[in-house]
Structure 1
């Protein structure tokens, strides 16, 4: 998390640990869901050229890469994930026509193989490879371990959750994935012979504790904490994301009484990129003025301001400002084509 204390003994530390890293994974899954929605929407529009969907995605990917690169070069106070998202879109775009089953199988295979390849290759190229390798291997969010999350989101986007049975099955699958990921890590760290003692006694089966750990030891592949780039981490994070998506979908579709109360959250979700950029700028401003960023007051203030601003903008203007730029750029490129 970019705002709030790391460990202040307030009793909210567990909530921070639960959110830390899993929010990034959830957004990676939502990138896949959104990709399918964008592609299907363009294909469903009468008179739309065959390549319009690809153009729309390519434009979005290009803008994400540009924004992420500019923010990073300007010294953004956080690790900016936007350029990585843009690269993910480019990598999975050829698979946007696949079925949910096929996407799920590819995601599973990539989750099993990619992190192991990353574990072997990363030490060999780190420090000597060009910057262009960052999004794939050496960066904070390497595609070798993050693409399975995007593919999982694409599979979700291709799945119809039309009734409680299908939603229940999806939620059960999400719970099973979370148990396999985090529970499997807990068992493996304590039962496998030869595990690094520091890892065995840590909470890395589900959270990122402070301290130094030997990332080069083979037993690192048994941890499941977010941002550890392991198979078990990908599986556990995918499960959490699936449960959350199904739960939100069920609440908004079936519980009519809750639709109005959740409108402010829906407004924030409709302009998530704008909110993401706003939070980076906000941290930048706070840092520049010496204001405390690692405090609960900063978290509360940011939440109130963002929810209020997004709700008002959504009601009186509509599409978020950054999202509007994406839309206009995509439309302009399609007109030129």
Structure 2
């Protein structure tokens, strides 16, 4: 596999995650009260986690897919911090939208980027240790501490919040909010390790698919055993009268997940694997689904049968185009949901958004290249890197010029930079 196809595989994965997040926001999340719909069962929690894992992959690409030397750390840190700042500013602008339509992830994402900066100078094995510590230590620690921390308002963070209650906002973005950055560091650690691998190799793609599947299935199985064979579920219901949740809310929490944390009525909540609960089974399982999806799409890039290769190219091209500009498309999606134009039923509205995103992304990528918000963020981040004394990697070729070569060998050099690391 060439570097071109490797990038297409990563961007296509990001494109699927974008469509998945749009589905979570646009389609019904319940098939009946307290029970997940098919779309939510597939994408709920997994789409956002995939974005976070791919954030780590993008950081690995932006830092040359290797451990950054100390002499290079200053310019690299300036670039990543500026990127985080820009994403955070865009996120706070979107914060004035209605959180009942969509919880904006970008401010959390900015904190995630900042927390991950020290990791780029670490070896992969140490990043793995950090990720393991986050998975095993942070969920129970958060579970113990959250009653002593400010209760998050569960609205989208805004500039007003940043000015009037900065510490409360930082606590929400880091620990107690919808996408808490500290527990989610597990995803970035996974992504950084994966991004440093030789993703162009077929055996790496197979390993990612196999490892991700084992993690996803293993986490779900372990959670089920703990809850159903060791009394966890019975303990949760026994503690329900003393919980802040009603019976329907408890059912919903178990089946549809939470808002970033779990109730504190019993420690057995830490065994659930429901979306957005921040438990070890949740973090491990969604990490697994993310890298399995990436492995699958990278593996599809190796197909050699002519008709299948052409089919893959046709499918990958719009997905990769959307995946290369997810910051722009995500922003447009949030604005549409909060506009007077969203007058459709959930299914029709989602289908129209998908068509619009794919068509506009392909057209924009073929003519203008980088998405407008991606271009803005990259330009400012690269300027910060130059001012700090570092060079800037050359931009990648437009998808329109490379997608037609997806099944052919076009060289094997691995390019170090990717321009789509600012997605949500």
Name the TM-score class by shorter chain: 0.7 to 0.9
Contact 1:26/1:241 (CA < 8 Å) preserved in 2? yes
Alignment of 1:162-311 (within 5 A): 162-193=200-231, 195-197=235-237, 207-208=256-257, 215-254=264-303, 256-257=309-310, 258-285=312-339, 288=340, 291-292=343-344, 295-311=346-362
CA-atom RMSD in angstroms: 2.8
Deviations 1:272-325 (Å, cap 9, x if unpaired)?
11111010011011xx35714x61001100000110000100011110111010
Q: Which residue of 2 aligns with 1:5?
A: 28
CA shift, 1:168, in A, is 2.2
Given candidates 82, 104, 109, the residue that maps to 1:80 is 104
Aligned residues: 325
Structure 1 portions without partners, runs of 5+? none
CA shift, 1:171, in A, is 1.9
Q: CA–CA distance in 2 between the matches of 1:51 and 1:154?
A: 19
**TM-score, with length taken from structure 1:** 0.87
Contact 1:206/1:225 (CA < 8 Å) preserved in 2? yes
Q: CA–CA distance in 2 between the matches of 1:107 and 1:146?
A: 9
Contact 2:76/2:385 (CA < 8 Å) preserved in 1? no
Q: Which residue of 2 aligns with 1:139?
A: 177
Structure 2 portions without partners, runs of 5+? 1-23, 153-166, 241-249, 389-424
Instruction: State whether structure 2 residue 189 is matched by structure 1 residue 151.
Output: yes
Q: CA–CA distance in 1 between the matches of 2:55 and 2:93?
A: 21
Of 182-191 and 255-264, the range deviating more from structure 2: 255-264
Given candidates 345, 350, 366, the residue that maps to 1:315 is 366
Q: Which residue of 2 aligns with 1:68?
A: 91
SS at 1:281's partner residue? helix
CA shift, 1:67, in A, is 1.4
Contact 1:189/1:223 (CA < 8 Å) preserved in 2? yes
Of 164-173 and 302-311, the range deviating more from structure 2: 164-173
Deviations 1:173-195 (Å, cap 9, x if unpaired)?
11111122111111111112352
Q: CA–CA distance in 1 between the matches of 2:347 and 2:56?
A: 32
Of 301-310 and 244-253, the range deviating more from structure 2: 244-253
CA gap of 1:231–1:262, structure 2 versus 1, over 3 A, is same
CA shift, 1:64, in A, is 1.2
Q: CA–CA distance in 2 between the matches of 1:94 and 1:79?
A: 28
Q: CA–CA distance in 1 between the matches of 2:202 and 2:169?
A: 47
Contact 1:313/1:320 (CA < 8 Å) preserved in 2? yes
CA shift, 1:62, in A, is 0.5
Q: CA–CA distance in 1 between the matches of 2:213 and 2:138?
A: 23
The structure whose RCO (Cα within 8 Å, separation 6+) is larger is: 2
CA shift, 1:65, in A, is 1.4
Q: CA–CA distance in 1 between the matches of 2:66 and 2:218?
A: 37
Deviations 1:13-60 (Å, cap 9, x if unpaired)?
32332111110000010110001111217999xxx9763322221111
Q: CA–CA distance in 2 between the matches of 1:290 and 1:85?
A: 26
**TM-score, with length taken from structure 2:** 0.70
Q: CA–CA distance in 2 between the matches of 1:326 and 1:42?
A: 23
Q: CA–CA distance in 1 between the matches of 2:64 and 2:350?
A: 37
Q: Which residue of 2 aligns with 1:54?
A: 77
Instruction: State whether structure 2 residue 113 is matched by structure 1 residue 104.
Output: no
